[in-house]
């Protein structure tokens, strides 16, 4: 079963004469353990795709199903609950709440969900540890570097039993080394079974994905095929590549 299933999604902003079609009949799905990149120039609708997938916005028409649950029939509070338990977000910048330490930021979704403080903290600590941030747990956002902040944000997005990770230009504000580290973390999360969607205009980030989807003017126009096809295209086997 796909973690995320979007069928015939259309999103229209504004009204008749000035309306903007951000998305136009998009079909999109992500299966567990897969990292999918959505590439497109600015204004192509890729961020809208992500906010609709994450239940932050509602499509004008079409259906979004997350873990088998259709979003259309959910109330605002049920969608909020879905974001606490199933969907994790990582944004380009401004990801952490100031005034909360790294560990508090990470365990916040769990606490919002009513998980006891001790358990929430333990889960938060585990998430931070897995991202190599155990020693930064009690630092506040303004005491962390940009890369560290983004790693904390990823820890928050995967804490608990999240199955869908949505990232919008997650390394946009970082240098390429930190950016690679962020993508590596998302990649690792997928190895553990999380499904991830990364929206970007950066080919390097996109190349971390198992599959790259190209979006133009609100439509999905293309996507890369399986790695096996590429092997065939390149016509030779390379050492170190998974066969």
Partner 1 sequence: MSVRHALLALLSDGAKYGLQLRNEFEARTGEVWPLNVGQVYQTLARLERDGLVAVEDRGADGPQRLYRITRAGRRELEEWLVTPPDLSAPPRDELVMKVLVAAELEGVDVRAMIQAHRRYLISVMQQWTRVKGDESALDLHLALAVDAEIFRLEALVRWLDAAEGRLKRHPLARRAQPARPATRKTEARP
Partner 2 sequence: MSRDERTSVGGAVARRALNRWARRLIVREWRQQVLIFVLVAVAVGGVVVGSGVSANSPAPVAEFVGTASAYASFAGTPAQLAADVARVRSLDSRVDVIENAPAQVPGSTTTFSIRAQDPHGPFGGPMLSLVSGHYPTGAHEVAVTSDLASELGLSVGRPWSYGGYSWTVTGIVVNPTSLLDEFALVAPGELRRPASATVLLDPNREVIKTMGANITEASRLANANPINPGTITLALAVVGMLLIALVAVAGFTAIAQRRIRAMGMLGAIGATPAQVARVVRANGLVVGVGGSLVGAALGLGAWAAYRPSLELSVHHDFALTSLPWWVVGASIVLAVLATSLAASYPARALARQSIVRALAGRPAEPRGVHRSAVPGAILVLAGLAALVYAGEQENPLALLVGIAGLVVGMMLLAPLALPLLTRATRRAPVAVRLATRDLARYRARSGSALAAMSLGIFIVVLVTVQVAARYGNTMDWVGPNVASDQVIVYTPASGRPTPASGRPTTAPGNGAPPTSPSNAQVHDALTRIQRALGATTTVGLYSSGTTIFRAAPGRTYSGPTYVATPQLLRAFGVAASSIRPTTDIITMRPRFAGLSDMRLYRESYFGPNGPGRNYNPGRPTRVPCPVESCVAAPPIQQVAGLPSGTSAPNTDITEAAVRRLHLRPVLVGWLLVSAHDPSASQVVAARSDAAAASLSIETRNSLPTSAEVGGWATAIGALLALGILAMTIGLIRSETADELRVLEATGASTYERRTIAATTGAGLAGLAGLVGTLAAYLGSAAFLLRGKFDSVGELWNVPLLDLVLIVVGLPVLAYLGVWFLTGNRAPRRLRAAIE
Residues 6+ apart with CB under 8 A from 169: 91, 92, 199, 200, 201, 202, 205
Q: Which residue in the set 60, 67, 92, 223 belongs to the binding site for partner 1 (CB under 8 A)?
A: 223
Contact 148, 180 (CB under 8 A): no
Contacted entry of partner 1, partner 2, none for residue 173, CB cut-off 5 to 8 Å set by kind: none
The reply to whether 227 sits near partner 1 by the rule CB under 8 A is yes
Which CB atom, from 101 or from 200, has the smaller least distance to partner 2? 101
Return d(Cα 7, Cα 26) in angstroms, integer: 6
Is residue 156 part of the contact set for partner 2 (CB under 8 A)?
A: yes
12 binds, among partner 1, partner 2, none (CB under 5 to 8 A by kind): none
State the Cα–Cα distance between residues 205 and 178, nearest whole angstrom.
Answer: 11
Tell me if 207 contacts partner 1 by CB under 8 A.
Answer: yes
* Closer residue to partner 2, CB minimum distance, 92 or 224: 92
Number of neighbours of residue 198 by Cβ within 10 angstroms: 29
Rounded Cα distance between 173 and 94, Å, is 10
* Residue 11 contact partner, candidates partner 2, partner 1, none, CB within 5 to 8 A by sort of partner: none
Give min distance, CB of 56 to partner 2, in A: 5
Contact indicator for 74, 225 with CB cutoff of 8 Å: no
**Does the protein bind partner 2 through residue 57 (CB under 8 A)?**
yes
Both tokens of residue 167? 């990232």
Contacting positions for partner 2 (CB under 8 A): 51, 54, 56-57, 76-77, 80-85, 87-89, 91, 94-100, 104, 108-109, 111-117, 120, 141-142, 149, 156
């Amino acid at each position: 079963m796909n973690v995320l299933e979007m069928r015939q999604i259309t999103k229209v902003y504004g009204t008749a004469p000035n309306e903007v079609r951000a998305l136009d009949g998009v079909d999109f799905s992500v299966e567990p353990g897969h990292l999918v990149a959505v590439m497109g120039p600015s204004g192509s609708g890729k961020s809208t795709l992500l906010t609709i997938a994450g239940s932050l916005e509602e499509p004008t028409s079409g259906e979004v199903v997350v873990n088998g649950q259709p979003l259309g029939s959910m109330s605002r509070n049920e969608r909020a609950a879905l974001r606490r338990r199933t969907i994790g977000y990582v944004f380009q910048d401004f990801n952490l709440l100031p005034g909360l330490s790294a560990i508090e930021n990470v365990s916040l979704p769990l606490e919002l969900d009513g998980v006891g403080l001790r358990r929430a903290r333990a889960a938060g600590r585990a998430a931070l540890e897995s991202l190599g941030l155990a020693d930064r747990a009690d630092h506040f956002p303004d005491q962390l570097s940009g890369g560290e902040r983004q790693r904390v944000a990823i820890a928050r997005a995967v804490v608990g039993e999240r199955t869908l990770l949505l990232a919008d230009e997650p390394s946009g504000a970082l240098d390429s080394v930190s950016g690679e580290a962020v993508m590596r973390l998302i990649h690792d999360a997928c190895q553990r079974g999380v499904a991830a969607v990364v929206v970007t205009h950066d080919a390097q980030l996109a190349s971390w994905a198992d599959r790259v989807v190209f979006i133009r003017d609100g439509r999905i126009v293309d996507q890369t095929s399986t790695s096996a096809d590429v092997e065939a295209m390149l016509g030779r086997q390379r050492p170190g590549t998974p066969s």
